[in-house]
């Protein structure tokens, strides 16, 4: 396996993380470094992808950080696991849809191990669960592909608070359509990161 696994136990400031990803992207282009999977949490922050609209900001007092990933506005913060990656698709199949399916299936397969049924949605990219009679989003995906290198990543709501979502239309959705794993099933998710990484690598290499 030629992928570096990096885990940060302390929250990493958003700008620092993106700067690190951009640097790794350039290093991979030059064949200087391995591919990367990086698990972390961010301090509370609202980020806006390339397809966001200002009308999705409900609380006009909040600060939005614009980013070059795909997707709309979302919130990151404590209790939410971020899985960043820099993956070279030049070494694999140059198929964006296939790579997105690999990400989606890695999350779906992992949640299945906890006996949580989840699914992808072509119209609203991300991973969803059925909870309290309605479909709710539990994971967001935002990827940028440049020179056939995929970077940024996905986030999974584990035990984060949900109140900050009320300040925006997260991914263009109403805040009540967002949930976390603790609301779905109150169990110990201690090995969650390992399982997601294992499934992600396995799906990529298969």
Residue 171 appears among annotated catalytic residues: yes
Element holding 17 (H helix, E strand) = helix 14-29
Candidates 21, 48, 125, 171; catalytic one: 171
Written as six digits, the tokens of 1 are 């396996």
- DSSP annotation string for 59-94: STTS-EEE-SSSS-EEEE-TTEEEEEEEEEGGGS--
Q: Which domains does the chain have, with CATH numbers?
A: 3-205 (3.30.930.10)
Tens-level pLDDT at each residue, the chain (206 residues):
689 999 999 999 999 999 999 999 999 999 999 999 999 999 999 999 888 889 999 999 999 999 888 788 999 999 999 999 999 999 998 999 999 999 999 999 999 999 999 999 888 889 999 998 999 999 999 999 999 999 999 999 999 999 999 999 988 888 789 999 999 999 999 899 999 999 999 999 88
pTM (predicted TM-score): 0.94
């Amino acid at each position: 396996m030629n992928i570096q696994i990096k885990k940060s136990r302390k929250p990493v400031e958003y700008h620092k993380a993106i700067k690190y990803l951009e640097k790794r992207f350039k290093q991979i282009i030059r064949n200087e470094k391995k591919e990367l999977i990086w698990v972390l949490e961010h301090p509370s922050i609202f980020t806006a992808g390339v397809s966001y609209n200002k009308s999705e900001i409900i609380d006009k007092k909040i600060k939005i950080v614009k980013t070059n990933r795909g997707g709309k506005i979302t919130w990151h913060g404590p209790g939410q696991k971020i899985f960043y990656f820099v993956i070279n698709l030049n070494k694999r199949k140059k198929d964006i849809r296939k790579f997105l399916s690999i990400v989606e299936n890695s999350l779906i397969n992992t949640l299945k191990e906890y006996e949580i049924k989840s699914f992808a949605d072509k119209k609203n990219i991300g991973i969803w669960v059925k909870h309290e009679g309605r479909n709710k989003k539990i994971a967001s995906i935002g990827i940028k592909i440049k020179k056939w290198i995929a970077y940024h990543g996905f986030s999974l709501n584990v035990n984060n608070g949900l109140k900050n979502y009320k300040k925006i239309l997260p991914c263009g959705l109403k805040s009540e359509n967002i949930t976390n794993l603790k609301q779905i099933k109150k169990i110990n998710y201690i090995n969650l990161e390992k399982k997601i990484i294992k499934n992600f690598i396995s799906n990529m290499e298969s």
